[in-house]
Structure 1
């Protein structure tokens, strides 16, 4: 019967951790920002297909859903929401929620009716 050698798995795990530590933080920040921009562009693209009177409210709802999706990713990764030197999924969730609330406020104040 075969047995598991824990030392071999530990060596592989330590190599992964070393790669994560040596990875550039600007690459991680760029990846999160790029993914957030893509998810926001998808929301805008879907909302653009709708009639104008409802487009802004649907866009705000889609951005809010995207924020919850980013929040799910952040919780799933189980990383801390602060204390990092690069942007994480927590920051992308906050950006989505802030964008959603900004679209709601602009629609409420009549910015899109002009």
Structure 2
């Protein structure tokens, strides 16, 4: 026997519900990745004005600082780090730290030397 839902009198099919829920998540992920890419590009621009001998290490330091800024934002503003289907500020902090460690490893292996 079917029941009458007074609050939800326009029931959508399941495929429409799934599509509706996917839209905001993709917008949230794109917005966070855009913000993270802007912070990384700021780090790259600031490191590019330094001499070539210190630019790589400065870039690594700036990416670490950006990671700490994202981490502070995640602690104060974002929710818990787990059980979120979207990207959060915790993920942006991890991406910044990973980029910093990647630059350090690449510099140590000599990828940036002439």
TM-score (norm 1): 0.79
What corresponds to 1:65 in structure 2? Answer: 65
RMSD: 1.6
What corresponds to 1:11 in structure 2? Answer: none
Offset of residue 82 of structure 1 = 1.4
| 8 Å CA contact retained: 2:78, 2:88 | no
- Higher share in helix: 1
What corresponds to 1:7 in structure 2? Answer: none
Gaps of 5+ in 1: 1-20
Distance in 1 between the 2:52 and 2:109 partners?
16
| 8 Å CA contact retained: 2:70, 2:92 | yes
Distance in 2 between the 1:33 and 1:82 partners?
18
What is the DSSP-based 3-state SS (H/G/I as helix, E as strand, rest coil) of the residue aligned with 1:84? coil
TM-score (norm 2): 0.79
What is the DSSP-based 3-state SS (H/G/I as helix, E as strand, rest coil) of the residue aligned with 1:111? coil
| 8 Å CA contact retained: 2:66, 2:96 | yes
Deviations 1:31-57 (A, max 9, x none): 100000000000000000000010000
Bigger Rg, structure 1 or 2: 2
Answer yes or no: is 1:25 the counterpart of 2:29. Answer: no
What is the number of residues matched between the two proteins?
A: 94
